[in-house]
Amino acid sequence: MKIFHIPAFHDNYIWAVQNGDFISLVDPGDADVSLDIIKSKNLILQDILITHHHYDHTGGVNALKKFMKGKVYGPKDCIFDGIEVPLVENDTLKTLGYCFKVLETPGHTLDHICFYNQEDKILFCGDTLFSAGCGRLFEGTYDQMHDSLQKINSLPAETKLFCTHEYTLANLNFALSQINDSEIAKEFKYLESKQGESFISLPTTIKKERRINLFLLEKRIPELSHLSDLDYFSELRQRKDSF
Ligand SMILES: [Zn+2]
């Protein structure tokens, strides 16, 4: 599957799945940058996939609809009113010949879903998981977010994760404030050396996240190791919120 990114706003990525001259977009928060690419590359917009209702993920949908051949897929019970095909856990959709299964991942928002392609092991994970971090809890509980991240962590290790923000360096900086870890330090140094170039740290993989993402609980801060999984996760998320 060919996938490319369209930078939007300050640090968002709109992901484009391409098959021939056709593309489908994941979370097009900005119509202008999407249309620039569509027009300059002579592409045809097939479908739009939405992970959750936030404006930086849905803001471009209505303007893009008149250029689109297919449908807008997104979560059921989404407060954004542009969803044409509402989806729930285990639903499947096909776009450009590729099949995606829906995983419900509440926490960042209550409506949040991810799109998983089993054949190519690709996950569009919106604002649930970021490389070396996870989304803020705007609507859900710590319990929900912990379960959502473990659902992602249960996918095959080689699964590629297409997150929607470039937060990796900041997340690694937080991680290093909490734990002395050579793998996280090495990744931080590498990304730091890439700053200023038009470098993108994504996609990541589950295998890599298990080594650098403290929110998957594969690596633990020694001083908190006595806590239960949920208490540990809650404490970590609160520390990140106030970092
Ligand atoms: Zn969001």
* Beta-carbon contacts of residue 22 (< 8 Å; ≥ 6 apart): 43, 44, 45, 46, 96
Q: 44 in helix, strand or coil? A: strand
Q: How much is the pLDDT for 33?
A: 98
Q: Are 166 and 131 in contact (CB under 8 A)?
A: no
198 vs 95, residue with greater confidence: 95
Structure tokens at 92: 């499947």
Q: Per mean pLDDT, which range of 137-141, 192-196, 204-208 is the poorest?
A: 192-196
Residue 113 has pLDDT above 90, yes or no: yes
- How far away, in angstroms, is 50 Cα from ligand 1 center? 11
Distance between CA 197 and CA 191 in Å, rounded? Answer: 10
**pLDDT tens readout for residues 128-176:** 999 999 999 999 999 999 999 999 999 999 999 999 999 999 999 999 9
- How far away, in angstroms, is 22 Cα from ligand 1 center? 26
Q: How much is the pLDDT for 229?
A: 97
Residues pairing with 2 in the sheet: 18
Return the H-helix or E-strand segment holding 229.
helix 229-241
Q: Per-residue pLDDT averaged across 172-199, rounded?
A: 94
* Beta-carbon contacts of residue 215 (< 8 Å; ≥ 6 apart): 129, 133, 134, 149, 233, 236, 237
198 vs 227, residue with greater confidence: 227
* Beta-carbon contacts of residue 97 (< 8 Å; ≥ 6 apart): 19
* Beta-carbon contacts of residue 137 (< 8 Å; ≥ 6 apart): 107, 108, 145, 237
- How far away, in angstroms, is 231 Cα from ligand 1 center? 24
Residue 197: band (very low, low, confident or very high) from pLDDT cuts 50, 70, 90: confident
Q: Are 164 and 51 in contact (CB under 8 A)?
A: yes
- How far away, in angstroms, is 108 Cα from ligand 1 center? 7
Amino acid at 15: W
Residue 198 has pLDDT above 90, yes or no: no
- How far away, in angstroms, is 90 Cα from ligand 1 center? 22
- How far away, in angstroms, is 137 Cα from ligand 1 center? 9
Amino acid at 241: D
Owner of token pair 């170039």: 197
Name the average pLDDT for the chain.
Answer: 97
- How far away, in angstroms, is 42 Cα from ligand 1 center? 30
- How far away, in angstroms, is 49 Cα from ligand 1 center? 14
Q: Per-residue pLDDT averaged across 203-219, rounded?
A: 97
- How far away, in angstroms, is 234 Cα from ligand 1 center? 19
Distances (CA, A) of 184 to 26, 168, 170, 202, 219: 29, 11, 12, 16, 11
Q: How much is the pLDDT for 158?
A: 98
Residue 196 has pLDDT above 90, yes or no: no
The CATH number of 2-241, from 3.60.15.10, 3.40.50.1820, 1.10.10.10, 3.40.50.720, is: 3.60.15.10
Q: What is the pTM of this model?
A: 0.96
Distance between CA 82 and CA 139 in Å, rounded? Answer: 20
**Strands 129-130 vs 133-134: parallel, antiparallel or unpaired:** antiparallel
- How far away, in angstroms, is 138 Cα from ligand 1 center? 8
- How far away, in angstroms, is 174 Cα from ligand 1 center? 20
